Amino acid sequence: MSHKAGFVSIIGKPNAGKSTLMNALVGEKMSIITPKAQTTRHRIMGIVNDEDHQIIFSDTPGVIVPKYTLQESMMSFVEGSLIDADIILFVTDIHEKYDENDVLDKLRKTASPVAVLINKIDKSSEEEVREKIEFWKEKLNPEAIFAMSALLGYNVPPILSYIKERLPVHPPYYEKDELTDKSMRFFVSEIIREKIFKLYDKEIPYSTEVVVTSYKEEPKITRIAAEIIVERDSQKNILIGKAGAMIKKVGTYARQDIEEFIDGKVFLELFVKVIPDWRTKKNHLKRFGYED
């Protein structure tokens, strides 16, 4: 049996359930999951290996019309992932309002096989599901349509079988024991960012970036220091909270998750730093990995 390997891009609007799907497929808490839209800014790769297959998933940012520089560089990730995908999974919420023409144009232009994944069907009726399937047949005529619930893991195995069937014959792109091609620092920063999304309101998470400044593995403990970067002093004060109570919470929750993730003890230090308007400054975006 020859080995198959390839790149699978997961695309769809913010909040369609891409990250949850990614985690259901990879079987690890890999991609940042939060009820707020627009959190995945990077192409996070999750890699699924078995004896004869290697599936490399990239979870693209939700497709949006760029509003400022940061979003423009996010969109270039989306374009890139459509070009180099062997298979495209288009994730759409069962209750989607069909304002996805920007995505559909891109999907019609691609030469890659497209599968439509109608997600969140646990929140709908059979009739709705049937109507949705007909709608997508007509609108996009994809190669396959799956009705599923990423959250409940419902109908995930058939999607994996479909992918394995359609993958090109190719030797593995990555070592078979690598779960992901992103470094541990990246996951640590994602975990910290996830906690900020959960613990703070409104604009705070969107004006925040997390940079892991040091990551040292010692025999008994891993020592990690990270900077949380915001745009204004007022945001810094909110992040730190009364007598440092909020930042302590972020640190505790993040440390517990990181310990679980690396399966070892962690000492985590967090610093909050103000860089005015970092989102519009190209050199900072470059440092945070948004610009190639």
Q: Is 63 annotated as a binding residue?
A: yes
**Residues 145 and 137 sit within 8 Å (Cβ to Cβ):** yes
Integer Rg of the chain from CA: 20
Q: Is 13 annotated as a binding residue?
A: yes
Q: Is 59 annotated as a binding residue?
A: yes
Q: Is 60 annotated as a binding residue?
A: yes
Q: Is 49 annotated as a binding residue?
A: no
Burial class (CB within 10 angstroms; exposed 0-12, middle 13-18, buried 19+) of 171: exposed
Q: Is 219 annotated as a binding residue?
A: no
Q: How many angstroms separate the CA atoms of 168 and 53, rounded? A: 10
Q: Is 119 annotated as a binding residue?
A: yes
Q: Is 172 annotated as a binding residue?
A: no
Q: Is 16 annotated as a binding residue?
A: yes
Q: Is 205 annotated as a binding residue?
A: no
Q: How many angstroms separate the CA atoms of 242 and 232, rounded? A: 17
Q: Is 111 annotated as a binding residue?
A: no
Q: Is 61 annotated as a binding residue?
A: yes
**If we measure between CA atoms, which residue out of 30, 11, 25, 31 comes closest to residue 80?**
11
Q: Is 169 annotated as a binding residue?
A: no
Going by the annotation, the residues of the binding site are 12-19, 59-63, 119-122
Going by the annotation, the residues of the binding site for GTP are 12-19, 59-63, 119-122
